[in-house]
Amino acid sequence: MNGKRILLIVGGGIAAYKSCELVRLIRKAGGQVTCVLTEGGSHFVTAMTLGALSENRVYTSLWDLKDEVEMGHIQLSRAADLVVVCPATADLMAKMAAGIADDLATTLLLATDKPVLAAPAMNVRMWQHAATRRNVAQLRTDGVTVLEPDEGAMACGEFGPGRLPEPEAILGAIRNALGSSAGRLAGKHVIVTAGPTQEPIDPVRVIANRSSGKQGFAIAEALAGLGAEVTLVAGPVGLPTPRGVRRVDVETAREMDRAVQGALPADAAVLVAAVADWGVEAAASKLKKADGPPQLAWSANPDILLELAHSRHRPKLLVGFAAETDDVVEAARAKRERKGCDWIVANDVSGDVMGGEENSIHLVTGDGIESWERASKQEVARRLAERIADALA
């Protein structure tokens, strides 16, 4: 992170303990951190912990006279390259959205002229409450990057969206936010496919697969973060559209093929979608159980990657994915040759990768194979986006 300066505002929630790990990761990545601890945050982590990890003074109060003599709050809010709010509580976001400045953290947030990234964490019902939805929408309109919280079991015993994203994923978002000013991919158009496709059998039934779309969406977000114009062709998934990305929703492989063709020309295409290899002739009316198991007439779907590799409009850089369960690297190498793409990103999907938060991949290029250590899907996306920027430079 090349000495980039992060002003980290730690809000009051149980997830505040993860901000300590975030400080450690930013430091490890070569960034500098100055922490501001809210009154609420101080009930969960101490200024001593944050100070030791950041190797910097921790600020807590607006009424520290010495700081105010030096116009501390203005200085603090301007000296950073990026302001990060982690965890961003419902209360903190409500104040940010309303422009309330009643403590050091909120005053800094109102006084800053730097990009702001918020990593929310709260109870699922608070996250889904109409007031929070309104505040998040307002913050996004105001240019704040609000990350989507993770889903899962929460400290309060409930289940759903509201968990703080893992510190590694937040670090990836920080890198994206810092990178966007660099605009390494400005003026480049990249097509990304993501998610599964669904092949209808009759008006109510489909053949689908387990792809969650998370990796593809993270790649689209990371590319947009580097300034690319991104067209995201998405199969049926319930994920929010990443900031700054043009999204085209499709259902079947044929629709995805048409959407990709329609989005050309592009400088690069990253085909992450798990496209159904075959479709069936869908019945016009619902098949009835009494008629017994249906005889499905299968036919091959277009291979979007293969077509693109041999198209007149072949993007300069064509990246395919290979979800494999056996001989991952060997299968990926063969797939790269067969499909005619430049790179294959191979992942072993025999474990919990599909639908999970992490991925461990092998990047197969014309120069050989790189095996990346297991990381969050956001971090994999960030690294891949950087590599794509290198290749298109």
Provide the binding-site residues for ligand CTP, judged by CB under 6 A. 193, 253, 271, 273, 275, 277, 301, 303-305, 320-323, 335
Q: CA 175, 177, 178, 182 torsion: positive or negative? A: positive
User: Minimum distance between the CB of residue 327 and ligand CTP, rounded to whole angstroms?
Assistant: 11
**Whose Cβ is closer to ligand CTP: residue 229's or residue 342's?**
342
User: Minimum distance between the CB of residue 320 and ligand CTP, rounded to whole angstroms?
Assistant: 3
- With a CB cutoff of 8 Å and minimum separation 6, the contacts of 382 are 172, 175, 176, 222, 225
Residue 25: half-sphere exposure toward Cβ, Cα within 13 Å? 17
Residue position matching structure tokens 């936010």: 177
**Whose Cβ is closer to ligand CTP: residue 201's or residue 253's?**
253
Q: Is residue 156 annotated as a catalytic residue, yes or no?
A: yes
Are the C-beta atoms of 214 and 357 separated by less than 8 Å? yes
User: Minimum distance between the CB of residue 89 and ligand CTP, rounded to whole angstroms?
Assistant: 39
**Whose Cβ is closer to ligand CTP: residue 166's or residue 257's?**
257
User: Minimum distance between the CB of residue 312 and ligand CTP, rounded to whole angstroms?
Assistant: 17
**Whose Cβ is closer to ligand CTP: residue 60's or residue 215's?**
215
Residue position matching structure tokens 């003074």: 57
DSSP 343-388: EEEEEE-SSS-TTSSEE-EEEEETTEEEEPPPEEHHHHHHHHHHHH
**Whose Cβ is closer to ligand CTP: residue 45's or residue 253's?**
253
Report which residue's Cβ sits closest to ligand CTP: 304
Active-site entry in 20, 35, 86, 156: 156
Are the C-beta atoms of 374 and 361 separated by less than 8 Å? no
Q: How far apart are CA 381 and CA 30, in angstroms?
A: 20
User: Minimum distance between the CB of residue 263 and ligand CTP, rounded to whole angstroms?
Assistant: 13
Q: How far lies 348's CA from each of 304, 323, 328, 331, 332, in Å? A: 22, 6, 6, 11, 10
The residues assigned a catalytic role are: 156
